[in-house]
Structures are given as C-alpha cells and as structure tokens.
Amino acid sequence: MKPLFAQFSALAIILFARLITAVRGEWRGTESTAGQRVYYANHASNGDFVLLWTVLPPPLRRRARPVAAADYWQRGPIRRFIINDVFRGVLIDRVRTEASPDPIGVMAAAIDAGDSLIVFPEGTRNTTEERLLKFKSGIYRLAVERPDLEFVPVWINNLNRVMPKGELLPIPLLCSVIFGEALKLEEGESKDGFLDRARNSLLALSPDEKGDSQ
C-alpha cells in the first residue's frame, strides 16, 4: 500500500508543480537521455529540487535522487514520507558529529547503486542579491571520488518568485529549468579550477547573466 501511495503522491506533486508554474525543461548542449549524472543547480527556494525532478523524463526521474538536509526532512512523519518514499532522497547531516556518516561517502554509495543525484553546491538557499553564491567543495570531492561522473548544470528560473520566503501559498508564475552542457573533472584539475568552471557553466545559463568568475 505504501509504494502505491508514494506513486500517487509523486503524480500529485508533478501535476501541482506544473499547474502552478507551467514549468518547462530546456536542454542546451546535452540530451535528456538515460545515463548516470549529477544535476547541480542554483538554490533559491525550498521547491527547487521538486521543479527539477518534475521536468526530467520519467526514466531519468525514477533514478534521480535529491541530496537534502536530514535535520529538515526528518522532522515529522509527512516530511519523512515525502523525502524517503516519494523522492528517495539522499539525506545529509548538516551538523556533523563523530557518528555522522561522511556525506561524500553517502552520495558515492547512491551513485554506486546506479542512481543520479540532484545537488545544490551553494550549500544553502541564496537570499542575497547575488545571482549565485560561492560553491562549497562537496561536488569537487565527489568528482574526485568518481572521476567518470558527468556533472550537468541546471538553472532554475523564477521559482523564488513563485514561493517567496515567508509566504505560505505559491504565486502562479511561469518557470523554466535549463540544462546545460555536462562537464567532468579534468586530469590534474585543482579544486578551485573545477569549482570556478562548474559555477561559471551554471551562471552562463541564467537569463540575466552571461557568466562570470566572481
């Protein structure tokens, strides 16, 4: 019964997201074909991974797992059901203790199981005037652990205006999710070099930016 209810809930979430945002996916420089990838996106709203997940073709959606904060999503039975049963999220402890599993190891295990990941390398919601915050080192560390992985930049446009911080109800507004050209860690590439390249690839997809190296 639980798997069936999870499938029904997933369909309801997809329909609701499309009703509110009329979201469309746009693939630039990469194809929406089967393959294991890490989709990394800008993060301005709690609904970001929902919108990205929604526009993936069903075969890709079934294998795409959002990386999310355990302390937020394990708070209450409804959130636990949504993240564990509907989205099959990969949960990470934001406040680490000695007992906390290594987050890179947790993500690598999901990759080794054949899944793709949805990650937000800014590390937190961007509530500033900057288009994109500085990237944390997590995606570089994952790239080092799994150098054959493709990392696909994904720009989520307008969702922060659909779900402004502090508002309880979404505001209907057109949204788009833009997928850019995949990249991999290059041999001998430094951490700063990879993070700058990944960040600029994502910024280049923004409708209001041409990309920079801030």
Tell which residue, 117, 180, 174, 182, has the closest CA to residue 145. 117
Angstrom distances, CA of residue 158 to CA of 89, 162, 164, 179, 186? 24, 7, 10, 15, 32
Question: Which pLDDT score is estimated for 172?
Answer: 57
Eight-class DSSP state of 183: B
Tell which residue, 152, 134, 137, has the closest CA to residue 201. 152
Low-confidence ranges of the chain (pLDDT < 70): 1-2, 159-173, 209-214
Question: Which pLDDT score is estimated for 61?
Answer: 95
Whether the Cβ atoms of residue 194 and residue 169 lie closer than 8 Å to each other? no
Question: Which pLDDT score is estimated for 209?
Answer: 54
Question: Which pLDDT score is estimated for 211?
Answer: 41
Whether the Cβ atoms of residue 23 and residue 177 lie closer than 8 Å to each other? yes
Place of tokens 């070099």: 193
Which domains does the chain possess?
A: 2-203 (3.40.1130.10)
Identify the H or E element spanning 69: strand 64-69
d(CA 212, CA 214): 6
